Amino acid sequence: MGDRMVVVSVLQFACSDDVSANVDKAERLVRAAHKKGANIILIQELFEGYYFCQAQREDFFKRAKPYKGHPTVLRMQNLAKELAVVIPVSFFEEANNAHYNSIAIIDADGTDLGLYRKSHIPDGPGYQEKFYFNPGDTGFKVFQTKFAKIGVAICWDQWFPEAARAMVLQGAEILFYPTAIGSEPQDEGLDSCEHWKRVMQGHAGANVVPLLASNRIGKEVIETEHGKTEITFYGNSFIAGPTGEIVAQANAKDEAILVAEFNLDKIKSKRHSWGVFRDRRPDLYKVLLTLDGSTG
């Protein structure tokens, strides 16, 4: 048995609504993670600015840019090449008249390995993403990076076991979920944080792979025609191991750089011997292709 070791890192920080300041902060933290030995570094969802989906505002479409030549993606390509690290880069994509919540996967030599577009688009108070984003059309993908074959999905995708399973079936050795989640404007008493963590810990354990979730922190206030709306993002970014155990976790308030090391060959051996992929019955799962559970 070999010993393919990889060091992964999750970043967590508060965003202002100044793109250059946020990208500067992301770069500073990526450099700090690299100094801690990180090979693959996850930045949170839509880190260029505030989580603008709190409100439906026409002017916020101006935040979108085309994938090709995207300035933040290009900057992170240069950084990834300089440091020899892998960086998934989340951004608001404009594609002619379509818009996507997208992520570009940058390999350790600065190569852009391709794009994933968020598949599951939420729509509720404070998280009004259907106003801005078309449902992603890429399907669930894996990316062969220098250090590991990785699966990357985005925020609301993390609540769906089908997405995690689809990526691991395609060979993903580690799952990555950049996120923006916090308080619920319609219900101050609702705190989804522990639920959020447990669901993803389940994906890690059920698929026998490590999993990383990167969330933002801080209170963000957005002006709307109906007055102000605000969300306090609850951080709690974490790294889970292949049995779903929490290996590293940030708190709800502080900027953080989490780092963990995994032996991918050892985990692969465990995944294969545990039997959950040997004993699958895809012929019995056709009900998953329905919305209403009908089998007729």
Residues designated as active site: 45, 118, 155
Q: Taking the CA of residue 180 as centre, how many other CA atoms within 13 Å lie in the half-sphere pointing to its CB?
A: 25
Find out whether 54 and 228 touch, Cβ atoms under 8 Å: no
Helix (H, G, I), strand (E, B) or coil at 246: strand
Which segments within 179-226 are labelled E, that is strand? 211-214, 217-224
The Cα–Cα gap between 56 and 132 comes to 8
**Smallest Cα–Cα separation from 214: which of 183, 235, 193, 241?**
235
Helix (H, G, I), strand (E, B) or coil at 38: coil
The strand pair at 5-12 and 256-263 is best described as antiparallel
Element at 79 (helix H, strand E): helix 71-83
- Hunting for tokens 């389940």 — which residue is that? 202
The alpha carbon torsion through 198, 200, 205, 207 (nearest 10 deg) reads 160
The Cα–Cα gap between 117 and 134 comes to 9
DSSP letter, residue 114: E
- Tokens standing for residue 129: 């993403």
